[in-house]
Structure 1
């Protein structure tokens, strides 16, 4: 299944915004949108794409690629801002190298190169957001450190009720990650004790923990404010 690129998603939003402008008084629409939270969770596929493409690797160092990801995202956030968005919940990417698909390629251990690129992007993203906030005083954002939050689950699984942090719950083969999650796949007996659902994505149990952290904190995972505080602005 093909993902819809962020630029196209923002295109769709812009079309809806134009339609709403024709139906709702401008001041009412802008007030409503200024109170709305725009949630942006993106970047993981770009990291995968870098390591899947020799061409990208030849043309960009990891740092150049991370910087270009952040600058490209800023362009799309600016388009949302130009169409009324003022509040943003933005998630960084997790330690991509620790997903089952990459562990499979690295003798079950996390792939450091993928994790390094993830960390570089998150750093570039946070710098971009801080700079953007200085440019646009009327925006507010909350940044979720997906990398640190997922690493916390991986390094301290028992405190969260997890048993398996390396393999996928749904799939086939070694780490249940050699063949994707399909109707013929093997499914773990207890999906609550796995961090990863398939070769790439976290389980519902892990995602519930992330949602709680996004909404209420703690500050080591969410900054400069959490979503509860963002809602109150």
Structure 2
């Protein structure tokens, strides 16, 4: 609702429409070959939890556990992808985004994130058994990001609590504009804005992913 993003069902309908157009252009065989060898990433979790479960209004109508199950259900209802490889990405520490006016990380929300990741790994195992011919890999972004918070100097970081853009506490996405004030050296910041990691942090995650996942491909 806040970002006006499309629902998972709507995105899926667009994908089906794209497949139909591909078949009309290059035929069924070539379309199936492309899809079979494509890499699909289904990303859902962090924003959903922040803007729903932890919202003061919406959070009254659903429990953390139920919403975790709901978001993961969306990952399992599209077996028709028939993809060779699908990535599932772990949930990062939910309780740290500075746009919530502070970075005081409560243990309850941290436990929610860890529980979500445990459920996701179990779901991946079930899907890999059900979808023969597919390979489903779990990308743990929780571990490298938490390690950056605990040991910033090991990564050349100096600031892990405040973002580089604006005040570093509230701005995110479109609120970070070309004329917004930015830090002098973003490479020393873990976050670019109040929500999103910096290029330096993403580089650490990418290196971690290459080492952990690509040997399994």
Q: In which range does the TM-score fall when normalised by the shorter chain?
A: 0.7 to 0.9
Contact 1:142 1:227 in 2 (8 A): no
Does structure 2 conserve the Cα–Cα contact (< 8 Å) formed by 1:99 and 1:196? Answer: no
Q: Which runs of 5+ in 2 are unaligned?
A: none
The 1:23–1:169 alpha-carbon spacing in structure 2 relative to 1, beyond 3 Å, is same
- Look up the SS of the partner of 1:118 in the other structure: helix
Give yes or no for the alignment of 1:132 onto 2:127. yes
Q: Equivalent residue for 1:222?
A: none
Normalised TM-score (structure 2)? 0.87
TM-aligned CA deviation for residue 22 of structure 1: 2.1
1:16 aligned to 15, 18, 40, which one?
18
Structure 1 residue 149 corresponds to structure 2 residue 151 = no
- Identify which of 164, 174, 181 aligns with 1:169: 164
2:90 paired with 1:92: yes
Question: Partner of 1:214: helix, strand, or coil?
Answer: helix
Secondary structure at the residue paired with 1:141? strand
SS of 2:24 mapped into structure 1: helix
**Whole-angstrom CA distance in 2 between matches of 1:90 and 1:215:** 15
Task: Within 5 Å, give how 1:24-173 maps onto structure 2.
Answer: 24-49=26-51, 50-55=53-58, 57-75=59-77, 78=78, 81-102=79-100, 104-105=101-102, 108-172=103-167
Structure 2 counterpart of 1:192, from 164, 167, 187: 187
Q: CA deviation at 1:91?
A: 1.0
Query: Segments of 4+ in structure 1 off by > 6 A?
Result: none
Partners of 1:101 and 1:38 in 2: how far apart?
Answer: 29
Deviation digits for residues 154-200 of structure 1 (CA, Å, limit 9, x no counterpart): 1111111111111111122xxx2145543353311110011111111
Displacement of 1:53 = 4.3
Correspondence 1:221-232 to 2 at 5 A:
226-227=213-214, 229-230=216-217
Q: Is the contact made by 2:8 and 2:74 (CA closer than 8 Å) also made in structure 1?
A: no
How many residue pairs get matched?
Answer: 211
2:197 is paired with a residue whose SS is: coil
Residue from 179, 182, 192 that aligns with 2:176 = 182
Q: Which of 118-127 and 186-195 deviates more?
A: 118-127
- How many angstroms does 1:204 deviate by? 0.9
2:3 maps to 1:5: no
